[in-house]
């Protein structure tokens, strides 16, 4: 595709044409991975939303199928919005999703596979009882802020639980429902969790992680060896935040650990374009995998010209860090199958202002690993106490601004004469007896096209560079 469609990616998930957004209902069934996603079959901007469907045996190569869920009954006639799959104890997958009804209210619907012996689960049947959860006068649910059901989990009392994203005024909510049979759902008196001033919580995700080890867990797992993670996608800022905490199943409430919050200083999976993410438990390889949507950076006119908009990020395995204070993610190991020719650079001393070209690779499709050793920490510049916003700092101290320890990193997708490039780099600062590491992705020179979004992204990285080497892995794909 490189000749006629130079901007399509080489190995990210994207359909041949049209608009895509959120990943939906990821699951594994009979050894086959399923990915559904929000899709406009008729155009390149958001609208006419259905659940498009693809399957894979390796999370890398995908086979498209017909749309799995599309408007067909009053409870979803104006759109089939985001939702999640749950694997029942019998092994049967079911899907809960948000439908938009004739009054444009958001309601929750259930669908199950028509034929369980089809490993591709190509046809889905909606239950006649839909909608199973709906806003009413009595339950005080905001009909335009009630969407994106999670994977359900089973308590020791044999009742299912699910949360749905919502808000009340500007308080973000994870509304909790319970059910004995997956068909009759009763709203709990209290939300599982809520946080003031965070606005609408889109695409909540709630799952257990092991305290010891990198293995993933089924969503119904709980106990002393487990912590829980709650993620919300904040509609106000289009940023996602997660907290780590404890799920008290007797009271059915989730309590984030001290210092764990949903906004500004909170934890994030990603500091770039990444939204409406969702995890699932891969029972075949005992891992939890994270999918997320990457919104397009070109303008609507640009999207119309290209014929498509949006892609899914490379799936990542995720687990709890040894500290218990943040999650760790790594691209699924399967992506390494795509590595072709290997090019190794001997280690070298990087002098200030120097650039080394990596020759012998296809720069448009590469998987790069670099390790940096730092010799002279003393010269690190002092971090001004007012530099608290890493993204802003990355913008102010962009790749061309000289520092004392940094910028050092990678020019990605650099064109001849460095007319276009994206600089991914570190800077190290000194701040009262410790070192602070900043990681930036400077997009300001990433395109000569003025209509493209070229926001620079960045974050402080929680490592002590005195004790650990800094490394960088970059998956580059055009």
Q: Which residues contact ligand FRU by CB under 6 A?
A: 21-22, 38, 49, 81-82, 98, 147-148, 202-203, 276
Helices (H), ranges, 166-311: 300-306
* Token pair recorded at residue 169: 């005024």
Cα–Cα distances (Å) from 12 to 59, 194, 268, 270, 279, in that order, read 10, 34, 21, 17, 17
Least gap, CB of 97 to ligand FRU (angstroms): 8
Q: How far is CA 347 from CA 237, 360, 361, 472, in A?
A: 42, 17, 18, 15
What is the number of alpha carbons within 13 Å of residue 393 lying toward its C-beta? 23
By beta-carbon proximity to ligand FRU, the closer residue of 100 and 436 is 100
Residues whose CB falls within 8 Å of the CB of residue 347, separated by 6 or more in sequence, listed in order:
none
203 or 290: whose CB is closer to ligand FRU? 203
Rounded to a whole number of angstroms, the minimum distance from the CB of residue 147 to ligand FRU is 5
The separation between the first and the last C-alpha atoms of the chain, rounded to the nearest angstrom, is 10
Element (H, E) at 391: helix 390-396
- Cα 393 from chain centroid (whole Å): 24
DSSP state of 206: E
Burial (0-12, 13-18, 19+ Cβ within 10 Å), 224: exposed
Catalytic residue from among 22, 235, 303, 442: 22
Q: Which is nearer to ligand FRU, 163 or 438 (CB)?
A: 163
- In terms of CB distance, is 202 or 282 closer to ligand FRU? 202
CB of 186 to ligand FRU, least distance (A): 23
CB nearer to ligand FRU: pick between 107 and 394: 107
What sign has the CA pseudo-torsion 187, 190, 192, 196?
positive
Q: Other CB atoms closer than 10 Å to residue 126's CB: what's the count?
A: 20
Minimum Å distance from CB 247 to ligand FRU?
23
Cα-flanking dihedrals φ and ψ of residue 212, to 5°? -115, 115
Nearest of 151, 142, 210, 203 to residue 182 by alpha carbon: 151
Closest approach of ligand FRU to the CB of residue 164, in Å? 10
Looking at beta carbons only, is 200 or 437 nearer to ligand FRU? 200
Clarify whether 22 is annotated catalytic. yes
> In the block, which residue shows the tokens 């939300």?
191
Reported as type and span, the H/E element at residue 361 is none
Helix (H, G, I), strand (E, B) or coil at 439: strand
Q: Which of 203/244 has CB closer to ligand FRU? A: 203
Nearest distance from C-beta of residue 375 to ligand FRU, angstroms: 45
**Which of 196, 278, 197, 193 lies closest to 233 in space, CA to CA?**
278
Judged by beta carbon, residue 27 or residue 49, the one nearer ligand FRU is 49
**Where do runs of H (alpha helix) occur along 133-179?**
none
At closest approach, how far in Å is the CB of 204 from ligand FRU? 10
Peptide bond into 407 cis (omega under 30): yes
CB of 307 to ligand FRU, least distance (A): 20
Q: Which are the catalytic amino acids? A: 22
């Amino acid at each position: 595709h490189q000749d006629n469609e130079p901007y399509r990616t080489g190995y990210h998930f994207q359909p041949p044409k049209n608009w895509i957004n959120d990943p939906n209902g990821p699951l594994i069934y009979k050894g086959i991975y399923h990915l559904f996603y929000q899709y406009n079959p008729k155009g390149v901007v958001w609208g006419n939303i259905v659940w498009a469907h693809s399957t894979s045996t390796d999370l890398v190569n995908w086979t498209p199928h017909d749309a799995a869920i599309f408007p067909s009954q009053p409870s979803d006639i104006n759109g089939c919005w985001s939702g999640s799959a749950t694997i029942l104890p019998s092994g049967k997958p079911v899907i809960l999703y948000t439908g938009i009804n004739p009054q444009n209210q958001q309601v929750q619907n259930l669908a199950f596979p028509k034929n369980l012996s089809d490993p591709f689960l190509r046809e889905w049947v909606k239950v006649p009882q839909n909608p199973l959860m709906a806003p009413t006068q009595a339950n005080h649910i905001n009909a335009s802020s009630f969407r994106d059901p999670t994977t359900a989990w089973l308590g020791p009392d044999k009742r299912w639980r699910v949360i749905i994203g919502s808000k009340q005024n500007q308080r973000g909510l994870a509304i909790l429902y319970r059910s004995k049979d997956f068909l009759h759902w009763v709203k709990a008196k209290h939300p599982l969790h809520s946080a003031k001033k965070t606005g609408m919580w889109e695409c909540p995700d709630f799952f257990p992680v092991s305290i010891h080890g990198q293995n993933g867990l089924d969503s119904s797992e709980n106990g002393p060896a487990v912590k829980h993670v709650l993620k919300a996608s904040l509609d106000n800022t289009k940023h996602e935040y997660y907290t780590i905490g404890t799920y008290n199943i007797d009271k059915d409430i989730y309590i984030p650990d001290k210092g764990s919050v949903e906004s500004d200083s909170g934890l994030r999976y990603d500091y770039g374009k990444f939204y409406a993410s969702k995890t699932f438990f891969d029972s075949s390889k005992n891992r939890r995998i994270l999918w997320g949507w990457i919104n397009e950076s070109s303008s609507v006119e640009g999207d119309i010209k290209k014929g498509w908009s949006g892609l899914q990020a490379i799936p990542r395995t995720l687990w709890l860090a040894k500290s218990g204070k943040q999650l760790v993610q790594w691209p699924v190991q399967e992506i390494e199958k795509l590595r072709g020719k290997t090019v190794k650079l001997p280690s070298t001393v990087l002098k200030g202002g120097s650039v080394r070209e990596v020759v012998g690779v296809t720069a448009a499709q590469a998987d790069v690993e670099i390790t940096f050793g730092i010799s002279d920490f003393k010269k690190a510049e002092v971090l001004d106490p007012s530099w608290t916003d890493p993204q802003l700092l990355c913008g102010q101290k962009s790749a061309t601004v000289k520092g004392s320890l940094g910028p050092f990193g990678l020019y990605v997708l650099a064109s001849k004469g460095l007319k276009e490039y994206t600089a991914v780099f570190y800077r190290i600062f000194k701040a009262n007896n410790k070192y602070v590491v900043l990681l930036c992705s400077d997009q300001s020179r990433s395109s000569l096209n003025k209509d493209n979004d070229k926001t620079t992204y960045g974050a402080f990285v929680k490592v002590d560079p005195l004790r650990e080497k800094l490394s960088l892995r970059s998956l580059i794909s055009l």
